[in-house]
Amino acid sequence: MYQLCPSILSADFNRLGEQIKILENEGVQWLHIDVMDGDFVPSISFGMPVIKSIRKESKMFFDVHLMVTEPERYIQDFVNCGADSITVHAEACEDLERTIERIKDAGVKVGVSIKPATPVNDISHMLEDVDMVLVMTVQPGFGGQKYMDECTEKIQELRELIDKENLDVDIEVDGGINEGTLETVMKAGANIFVAGSWVFGGDIAENVRHIQKEIEEISDRIE
């Protein structure tokens, strides 16, 4: 199942609710929510109050990506404010296995993310324990960066491992996903596409329609 997952990091925060409504009206089901702490990544984005507020008006699947050091401290807070899935960074956890267990125990889906320099090997032993692997295809911290070509091989490697074991694990890609890179990541085996500037730059409804069409056409071509 392919999913476009717009990243609200590129939204106009003065019109956030309105822009999320546009996505929903266009049939987008997933919303990517980047939480940054200024420690694990250099930038600070937003936290629980924003998520709690948009949750009141939205039925979308809230895909919360915690770019924070020791995310285990905040699992219950993010569940309470409306996360449907929580993704943590392998590099940010003191005890990744325990953090994943805690997320599952909190009753939401769980994802593990790796930065561009982190090998698939670091998380391959825990594929059975997660719902999703998020492959960062830029250095986490900012929207609008260029896709790092060297990440394509990691997506392929993961797809092979997941298919070989017949696992039900999504591969999400995040960073620099646009007209020029979508086909590459789809061919490599990703099925959830985070896009910030591609969705929010210009006419959001028109962009979403165009991207959904692209996804459909590429999937017809490669399957």
Report whether 201 belongs to an annotated binding site. Answer: no
Q: Is 96 exposed, middle or buried (0-12, 13-18, 19+ CB in 10 A)?
A: buried
CA atoms of 91 and 122, how far apart (whole Å) = 9
> Minimum CB separation from ligand 5SP for residue 57, in Å?
21
Extended beta strands in 56-164, E state: 61-67, 85-89, 109-114, 132-136
101 vs 142, beta carbon nearer ligand 5SP: 142
Please answer whether residues 173 and 155 qualify as being in contact, where contact means their C-beta atoms are separated by less than 8 angstroms: yes
- Please tell me which residue in 37, 63, 170, 174 is annotated as part of the active site: 174
> Minimum CB separation from ligand 5SP for residue 37, in Å?
12
> Minimum CB separation from ligand 5SP for residue 137, in Å?
8
53 vs 145, beta carbon nearer ligand 5SP: 145
Closest-by-Cβ residue to ligand 5SP is 196
Residue 4: C-alpha distances to residues 94, 174, 223 (Å): 31, 11, 18
Catalytic residue check, 163: no
> Minimum CB separation from ligand 5SP for residue 43, in Å?
8
- Please tell me which residue in 12, 34, 77, 163 is annotated as part of the active site: 34
- For the four alpha carbons of 108, 58, 41 and 169, in that order, the dihedral sign comes to positive
Report whether 107 belongs to an annotated binding site. Answer: no
Query: What is the number of other CB atoms lying within 10 angstroms of the CB of residue 73?
Result: 10
Residues that bind ligand 5SP (CB under 6 A): 7, 9-10, 32, 34, 138, 140-145, 174-177, 194-198
Report whether 144 belongs to an annotated binding site. Answer: yes
Q: How far is CA 150 from the centre of its chain?
A: 19
| Furthest C-alpha separation in the chain | 46
Residues catalogued as catalytic: 34, 174
From the annotation, which residues make up the binding site for substrate?
7, 65, 141-144, 174-176, 196-197
From the annotation, which residues make up the binding site?
7, 32, 34, 65, 141-144, 174-176, 196-197
